[in-house]
Structure 1
Amino acid sequence: MWRAFGTVILSALLASAATAQDAASMKKDMVGQWELATTERSKTCVVTLTSEPAAKGLKLTLEPDCAKTLPFTKAIVAWDVKGLDIVRLETADGDSVIDFTEVESGIFEGHRDGEGIYILQNLVAARSLAKSMEQMIGDWTMVRGNGRQVCGLTLTNTEAGNDNFQAFLKPRCDAQIAGFGPTMWRLEHGAMLLVAPNGDTWRFEADDNAQWRKMPDTADPLIMLRQ
């Protein structure tokens, strides 16, 4: 009985030590500059997380326009890691202003009641994504593998909800593309998605020739070329 009890205690101590180690590692990884933004990036704020101790948690700095762009940031004076994987932006008393959890590598998602979802992302990666989006905006031609033009398409930066932006087909598209009828687009995990009103999605990936090919690839591929 005492041996079993001792095993339980040891397991608990080991689990506690592992949790502390994970939290310490995460704190180290989070130090640096991050972009705090709405999901569609219409409002952004640069947050610098440091390893310096504060009265509660660790110190951070917000760029001067943060309070104007995202008013709730006025209350944020420190940050910390809670539990295994929660990144907390907090008040001077250690109360949560917003908690973030990692939804994919380097991208954290947090929610505020009555306001919605906010994204915390490494600043370099966030600006790289913004640059990629800017490069996508404009007129495109869709061609088949033999070079035959089958449709024209315009990608815009007009928000269409759920991280999507408006897209418009030009007249005289072939039957397959006209039937699909995409009205939105977005970048996701390095791919470009065209989205129809019914939710159907076509996925395009960049190839070595700076073209975007519909996936999965076929013997008669559909390729997007910048006009």
Structure 2
Amino acid sequence: MIRIIPRLAAAAAALLVCGLAYGQHIDPDILKAQAGTYLVAPEDGGAGCRMTLETGTAIGGYSLSGQDSCAKPLPALAESYAWNFDGNGGVVLIDALRKVLARFVENEGSPIKTEDRVPLLLIAAPDGVDRLPTFSSLAGTWTMQRPDGEKLCGVTLDGHVNADGNAPLSLSGDCAANVARLKFTVWHIEGFGLTLMGGDGSSLGFDMRADGNFDKTKDEGGKPLSLVRH
């Protein structure tokens, strides 16, 4: 599963310790760590847009680009003029008058997102992808396989989410022994990361790629493995 590097927490700590406010100096390493191109998209799977958080200074914070791409999917964000750290581990987008258009709050182990009724996420995304996957969009039959095409197991993802925020899954009866022993029963989606989980604490994380299929996250180690939709 995609895991968020705690760089925002480091930025917040630096701001609080040094007593900095918007527009004042921030450690260049912290600034470079946060800068980059991100997808801003609704958590419910609606279309989003890409913005690049830059390191150059601007009124109220730091420069950004790409906001014009938000004109259709997220028109309010097309007015974004600059970005900044908010001093609490998050990021804000502001307009030319320094009005906050979006405040992305840090959530431990999860992508930063707004606290709106339908949250917006600020997240690194595969090239060409303009929206977040959802339980309903990923529901269906998948094959767990090696890069050479060797099939290890069939996986059926159910799209009905339970009270714990997970959804059921079922494995085919012909799974390889090393997969069957993990006894996966539920799955979870967080940003572009998908995790299969078993009742005994076993889990296996995957990261979405540009074609909509998933590769086992590098943090898992071991041999490469993919989830490919039928």
Distance in structure 2 (CA, Å) of the matches to 1:126 and 1:160 = 27
Q: For the Cα contact (< 8 Å) 1:160–1:184, is it kept in 2? A: no
3-state SS of paired residue (1:68) = coil
Mark the runs of 5 or more structure 2 residues left unpaired by the alignment: 1-15, 145-151, 175-179, 206-215
The number of equivalent residue pairs is 181
Distance in structure 2 (CA, Å) of the matches to 1:194 and 1:172 = 18
- The one-letter code of the counterpart of 2:18 is S
Distance in structure 1 (CA, Å) of the matches to 2:186 and 2:31 = 42
Q: 1:103 aligns with which of 98, 102, 107?
A: 107
Mark the runs of 5 or more structure 1 residues left unpaired by the alignment: 1-13, 142-148, 213-223
Distance in structure 2 (CA, Å) of the matches to 1:47 and 1:63 = 6
Q: Does 1:139 align with 2:139?
A: no
Task: Tell me the equivalent position of 1:116.
Answer: 118
Q: For the Cα contact (< 8 Å) 2:80–2:93, is it kept in 1? A: yes
Task: Tell me the equivalent position of 1:59.
Answer: 63
Aligned-pair distance for 1:89? Answer: 0.2
- After TM superposition, the structure 1 = structure 2 runs for residues 119-198 of structure 1, keeping only pairs within 5 Å, are 119-123=121-125, 138-140=141-143, 153-155=155-157, 169=170, 185-186=188-189, 192-193=195-196
Taking only the aligned residue pairs, the percentage that are identical comes to 18
Distance in structure 1 (CA, Å) of the matches to 2:121 and 2:37 = 14
- Cα RMSD between the aligned structures? 5.2
Q: Does 1:34 align with 2:27?
A: no
Distance in structure 2 (CA, Å) of the matches to 1:15 and 1:25 = 16
Larger fraction in helix: 1
TM-score normalized by structure 1? 0.52
Task: Tell me the equivalent position of 1:203.
Answer: 203
Q: For the Cα contact (< 8 Å) 2:110–2:191, is it kept in 1? A: no
Larger fraction in strand: 1
TM-score normalized by structure 2? 0.52
Q: Are residues 72 and 35 of structure 1, via their aligned partners in 2, closer, same or farther at CA, if it must alter by over 3 Å?
A: same
